[in-house]
Amino acid sequence: MLLGAGALAGAGLGGASLGNRTSAWAESSPFVPEKGARLKLLRWQRFVKSEDDAFRRLVAAFTVATGVPVDIGSAPNLETSLKAQMIADIGAGADLVWSNQADAHLYPDKLVDLSDVAGHLEGKLGGWYEIAHEYGTHNGRWICLPVALTGNAMTYRISWLRAAGFDSFPTNLQDFLLLAQALKRIGHPMGLSLGPSITDGNCWTHWLLWQFGAAVFDEANRPTIRSPETLAALEYARELYPNFIDGTLTWIDTSNNNAFLSGAIACTNNPISTYAELVAMRHPMADDTDHAVFPLGPLGKPAELNVMRPLMLFRHTRFPNAAKAFMTFLMERAHYGDYLESAVGYLSQTLKGYEALPMWTEDPKRLVFRDAAARSRSFAYKGKLGYPAAAILSDQIVLQMFAEAASRQTTPEQAIIRADQRIAQYLAT
């Protein structure tokens, strides 16, 4: 879809106010687009319509301000990552890819150094959160722009929680298991993805791994998956799994959303997208839906895997200045705050200057997503985020280890051995 000046007409976020702000931005931008520049951008497929609409309005406003058309394509999460890898391999295709997690660390040498963009934004907007710096840099240079996080939290039906005998969402793993068992008994089971879900499935399995004190790596980037802590996490998952709805072993990223919206499950881990859709539809289920942070285990403190959304600029681009101008445009104060507002909590800030946006407190059900950056670990914890860690996540090793053990396809011990062997292959490269 090619967006131009006409796309601004009638836009809720657009109009004269946005036009005036973009004109002022264009006059002060440190990045001047090349003559005749034209950009192609591939992004993850939207989960919240208002976010996608706002993004496209911003792109249209950028075109008005700079004269640079931007052709937008989109694909599901996993497909976006695969296409980004193909673009890196062949050195052709989209100039910009807005992708998932640490895709940039799979091919850092194929990406333009964005240290000037990151430094410009950091100086104006309160600095980057540590998690953004970790995902955004490789060997001292910025290889992507960590535009936002998609926070992940427990999403649940309030009335069914109470029917199961709970006045509030559990804060520890023991009570969380009791809740799962009680929900199953009353016919409203949980559903946590154990299928090829690049986001939700990885989020909850890494959280559970960490809450028992386990990790894939140690500080020297040596594999540590063979541990009593990993075994304890898998044994807990084996107790939890029988209380899930059938079919979670094949769930993709949209499956738990659909199950929750249809009333098939009482609880899942998810971004705010299901609630946002209910609110947008004015569905009565919205009043019966709420969110909670993940319960704590033996670790005793928050440790979550939230989904980083990195924007990457490939070296084959003919228009690097235009692309850098677009990146700064997206995250400048004149635009980014309104964009997050339109995302209604599906995206959380990676720059500290946006932490106090009123959108986080306008609806108390959004609040748990505000601090996604502060609660996040990278999936490389405790090691270094780089090619091996990114490849291990891409290959879904932790998620598949939990799926095999929880569903009793193998014993926990066998699942650990298999995961360790697969991890070792990447660390040997």
Residue range 66-92: mean pLDDT, rounded: 95
Residue range 241-256: mean pLDDT, rounded: 96
Residue range 101-125: mean pLDDT, rounded: 95
- CA 122 distance to own-chain centroid: 21
> Using an 8 Å Cβ cutoff, are 1 and 71 in contact?
yes
> Using an 8 Å Cβ cutoff, are 160 and 166 in contact?
no
pLDDT in tens, 386-420: 889 988 998 999 999 999 999 999 999 999 999 99
Copy the structure tokens of residue 155: 């999403």
How many C-alpha atoms does 19 have within 13 Å on its Cβ side? 12
Q: Average model confidence (pLDDT) for the chain?
A: 93
The DSSP element (H or E) to which 43 belongs, if any, is strand 39-44
> Which pLDDT band, with edges at 50, 70 and 90, does 198 fall under?
confident
Question: What per-residue confidence (pLDDT) applies to 277?
Answer: 93
The string of DSSP letters for 284-353 reads GGGGGEEEEPPPB-TT-S--B--EEEEEEEBTT-S-HHHHHHHHHHHHSHHHHHHHHHHHTTSSB-SBGG
Residue range 75-93: mean pLDDT, rounded: 94
Helices 397-406, 387-394: axis angle to 10 degrees equals 40
Cα 419 from Cα 71, distance rounded (Å): 40
* Ordered structural domains, the chain, with CATH: 2-150+306-374 (3.40.190.10), 153-305+395-427 (3.40.190.10)
> Which pLDDT band, with edges at 50, 70 and 90, does 5 fall under?
very low
pTM of the model: 0.88
Question: What per-residue confidence (pLDDT) applies to 17?
Answer: 61
Question: What per-residue confidence (pLDDT) applies to 20?
Answer: 65
Whether residue 429 has pLDDT greater than 60: no
Instruction: Tell me how long the chain is.
Output: 429
Q: Which residues contact 210 (CB under 8 A, 6 or more apart)?
A: 299, 303, 377, 381
Cα 124 from Cα 334, distance rounded (Å): 12
Query: What secondary structure letter does DSSP report for 110?
Result: G
Query: What secondary structure letter does DSSP report for 33?
Result: P
> Using an 8 Å Cβ cutoff, are 182 and 237 in contact?
no
Q: Is the Cα dihedral 288, 152, 262, 51 positive or negative?
A: positive
Cα 277 from Cα 251, distance rounded (Å): 20
How many C-alpha atoms does 362 have within 13 Å on its Cβ side? 9
Cα 349-389-425 angle, rounded to 5 deg = 165
Ordered strands of the 39-44 beta sheet:
2-3, 70-75, 39-44, 96-98, 307-313, 145-150
**Cα Rg for the chain, rounded, in angstroms?**
21
Question: What per-residue confidence (pLDDT) applies to 4?
Answer: 32
Residue range 59-70: mean pLDDT, rounded: 95
Distances (CA, A) of 62 to 46, 49, 103, 117: 20, 20, 26, 16
Distances (CA, A) of 10 to 4, 7, 63, 350: 13, 8, 16, 30
CB atoms within 10 A of CB 239: 12
> Which pLDDT band, with edges at 50, 70 and 90, does 280 fall under?
very high
